Structure 1
Amino acid sequence: MNHVVKVVSVNVGTPKTVMIDGKPLTTGIYKQPVDEPLTLTKLNFAGDGQADLVHHGGPDKAVCVYPSEHLSVWERLYHCSFAAGAFGENLTISGLTEEHVCIGDVFAVGTAVVQVSQPRQPCFKLAKRHGIKELPLKMQETGYTGFYFRVLQEGVVTQGDILRLVKRSKTPLSVQYINRIAYIEKSNVEAIQTIVEEPALSKDWREWFSNRLHQLKR
């Protein structure tokens, strides 16, 4: 990884209830950029929160990350604006996409140390927020999902900070590859076996892939 990876924006927000399609929806997907330094704990950034703690948040999903490189792709496709934070991410970054980041990669950013734990699983709230029903499925198909960090060392992160790769997994499995096996090559037993053996993979995704492996072997 020879190029500079940078924090374009740090985005936080607490859950709120909005009316969509005439129904109330409580969600933490509306994140706003913050200019000042923010404390990052094992669970989240100061001032951030999730509404659905079953599918979002927790130590393995402390920080949602989205590459800024994808924003122009969605703008061209849907003819509307996608700014930093549009995908409910905490960190909008540049210089690092799913193709080049691997499960288990450890980065120093600001005074914190973080580790890639899993791809982001696009949910229906993204479709609701942007009024684009197919958006979550399109993110899966393209592999432009973003990913999550767990926090190894708490610290302070600011817009403009550089992400420095500290350590890489012995079996580098890119987020793009994991997405391909998750959504496209769903019956690739050998690949799934390799993925579940990656120690840095989140508990949820290990269970998800393990269950699929069990079903395929029956």
Structure 2
Amino acid sequence: MRYQVKSLNVGKIETLTYGKRTFESAIRKQSVAKPIFLSKTGLMSDEQAYEHHGGEDKALCLYPYDYYPYWQEIVHPFSETALFGENLTVEGLKEDNAHIGDIFSFGEAIIQVSEPRNPCYKLAAKYEVPDMVVRMRDTGYTGFLFRVLKEGMVSSNDDLVLLESDPHQVSVALVNEVKFFERFNKAKLEKVLAIEALSESLRAPLLKQYQSDKTNEWS
């Protein structure tokens, strides 16, 4: 399977003020046309303001272009690229058909899905949409993250090509379910925790959920 990259985006850390909030962020990413080096920690020239926004398990952020029409009447100013500060705007690859552990080629690089993106208050502040995080959570339109298995040059002209689908077939959407809605569903948590490729930063809280004596009333 091939998925078209609509844009490849990088940004620098800035001090931004939106409404009453001031914070450091590289959320205002710009698309780049020329090839760029993708290392284990991300795209060259791209910066991350906080530790929990980067690292080898979170080297690259993808947001599906398929959801842009949904946000068009909600987000202002609207942009056709890097709407949510993602590195990759991609068509056709979404939370329901991307699985934790799936491996893709991207230009010279090889990347692997590691976890869903966690909706951030900075997006709500940037667009002055107070319920942005809730909207992302409830729709499941979060995007997701990759680790880099092999470094190399990449460009917006390179498709993402599925090389290997993880045998557990646990979608990013399922992980979002146990993160946000079915936090103590033991069966679903077992499926997620069985995946070796799951990021360590997410494994820890999910393991605590699994070990809890709480249960979902509907599970």
Q: In structure 2, how many angstroms separate the alpha carbons of the residues matched to 1:23 and 1:102?
A: 35
What amino acid does structure 2 have at the position aligned with 1:215?
S
Give how far 1:28 is off: 1.4
- CA offsets per residue over residues 63-103 of structure 1, 9 Å max, x none? 00000000111114457524311111001111211110000
Question: Could you state the TM-score of these two structures normalised by the residue count of structure 2?
Answer: 0.93
Percent of aligned pairs sharing the same letter: 38
Q: In structure 1, how many angstroms separate the alpha carbons of the residues matched to 2:3 and 2:42?
A: 21
Equivalent position SS for 1:18? strand
- CA offsets per residue over residues 162-195 of structure 1, 9 Å max, x none? 1111111111101111111211122211111221
Equivalent position SS for 1:216? coil
| 1:60 counterpart (57, 60, 66) | 57
Name 2:27's counterpart in structure 1: 29
Q: In structure 2, how many angstroms separate the alpha carbons of the residues matched to 1:26 and 1:131?
A: 17
State the superposition RMSD in angstroms.
1.5
The within-5 A match list for 1:130-169 is 130-169=127-166
What amino acid does structure 2 have at the position aligned with 1:46?
M
Please, which runs of 5 or more residues in structure 2 have no aligned partner?
Answer: none
Q: Are the aligned partners of 1:74 and 1:82 in contact in 2 as well (CA < 8 Å)?
A: no
Q: Are the aligned partners of 2:34 and 2:155 in contact in 1 as well (CA < 8 Å)?
A: yes
Please, which runs of 5 or more residues in structure 1 have no aligned partner?
Answer: none
Q: In structure 2, how many angstroms separate the alpha carbons of the residues matched to 1:78 and 1:143?
A: 17
Name 1:183's counterpart in structure 2: 180
Question: Could you state the TM-score of these two structures normalised by the residue count of structure 1?
Answer: 0.94
Name 1:106's counterpart in structure 2: 103
Aligned length: 215
Q: In structure 2, how many angstroms separate the alpha carbons of the residues matched to 1:87 and 1:154?
A: 24
Q: Are the aligned partners of 1:13 and 1:31 in contact in 2 as well (CA < 8 Å)?
A: yes
Equivalent position SS for 1:172? coil
Q: In structure 2, how many angstroms separate the alpha carbons of the residues matched to 1:21 and 1:30?
A: 16
Q: In structure 1, how many angstroms separate the alpha carbons of the residues matched to 2:173 and 2:96?
A: 5
Q: Are the aligned partners of 1:189 and 1:216 in contact in 2 as well (CA < 8 Å)?
A: no
- CA offsets per residue over residues 17-57 of structure 1, 9 Å max, x none? 0122244311111111011001000001010011111x200
**Higher mean Cα deviation, 147-156 or 19-28?**
19-28
Name 2:84's counterpart in structure 1: 87
- CA offsets per residue over residues 92-139 of structure 1, 9 Å max, x none? 111211110000000001000000000000110111111111111110
Q: Are the aligned partners of 1:72 and 1:82 in contact in 2 as well (CA < 8 Å)?
A: no
**Any runs of at least 4 consecutive aligned residues in structure 1 with deviations exceeding 3 A, and if so which?**
76-80
Q: In structure 2, how many angstroms separate the alpha carbons of the residues matched to 1:117 and 1:103?
A: 5
Equivalent position SS for 2:72? helix
Q: In structure 2, how many angstroms separate the alpha carbons of the residues matched to 1:183 and 1:217?
A: 15
Name 1:212's counterpart in structure 2: 209
What amino acid does structure 1 have at the position aligned with 2:12?
T
What amino acid does structure 2 have at the position aligned with 1:174?
S
What amino acid does structure 2 have at the position aligned with 1:162?
D
